[in-house]
Amino acid sequence: MSKLTVNGRPVQFDMDPQTPLLWALRDAANLTGTKYGCGVGDCHACAVIVDGEALRSCLITIAEAEGRFVTTIEGLSRDRSHPVQQALVAEQAIQCGFCTPGIAISAAALLQRNPNPSEQEVKDAVPNICRCGVYPRLVAAVQRAGRVMQRRERIGAAPAPGISAEDAARAVPAMALPQDNREEPDQ
Ligand code: FES
Ligand code: FES
């Protein structure tokens, strides 16, 4: 049983402790915003924030995540209002659905510790592999998000999402709190 905090909620995974965090999040917790790209640590599509650091969830077991605070793309904001999300839209720097969550997570982790990154610092912190090519706009978006976080700039809100975070992460047995996990008595 591995216990950790995911998007502010205590969760326990009744799974093999060597299960990669990626699969616990996607398959047990239904947090499918975290993407499986390569599975070997190259692409960063699976990035989640663990105790403030963007880590590749395909490389961490749930045993290694025990007791830690994990934020997935679903937990970045409830309504896509995180400055990184807003700036990616405003700068037209959205990439495909596989790449964008990991990019947003990596950028958010960077801006938490450095809201004023240089171009090179953005490139170093957002190493997601993709050749689809919005890199100049991506750097501009991350730097703009940093200015928004410092209240030096504002961005008009992008449209609200069509699905709530709760719906995206609906309760499944592995996400249930201990008291909700009791078996029904035999009739
Ligand atoms: S799926 Fe984890 S780095 Fe590619
Ligand atoms: S593969 Fe996702 S944007 Fe290029």
| Ligand 2 atom having least distance to the Cα of 45 | 2
pLDDT at site 180: 54
Whether the model clears a pTM of 0.95, i.e. scores above it, the answer is no
pLDDT in tens, 115-130: 999 999 999 999 887 7
Burial class (CB in 10 A: 0-12, 13-18, 19+), 180: exposed
| Ligand 1 atom having least distance to the Cα of 41 | 3
Residue 111 CB less than 6 A away from ligand 1? no
Query: Which CATH number is 2-75's, of 3.30.465.10, 3.10.20.30, 3.40.50.2000, 3.30.1330.60?
Result: 3.10.20.30
Q: Where are the domains of the chain?
A: 2-75, 83-149
pLDDT in tens, 74-107: 999 878 889 999 999 999 998 898 999 999 999 9
- The helix or strand, by DSSP H or E, that contains position 47, with its residue range, turns out to be strand 47-50
In angstroms, what is the span from residue 4 Cα to ligand 2's centroid?
30
Q: Which residues pair with 9 in a beta bridge?
A: 6
| Degrees to nearest 5, angle at CA 161 with 130 and 148 | 70
pLDDT at site 159: 66
Out of 43, 92, 95, give the residue to mutate to test ligand 2, the one with the largest number of ligand atoms within 8 Å of its CB.
95
Look-up: residue for tokens 């679903």? 74
pLDDT at site 178: 54
> In which residue ranges of the chain is pLDDT below 70?
131, 157-161, 163-187
Query: Which CATH number is 83-149's, of 1.20.1370.20, 1.10.10.10, 1.10.3720.10, 1.10.150.120?
Result: 1.10.150.120
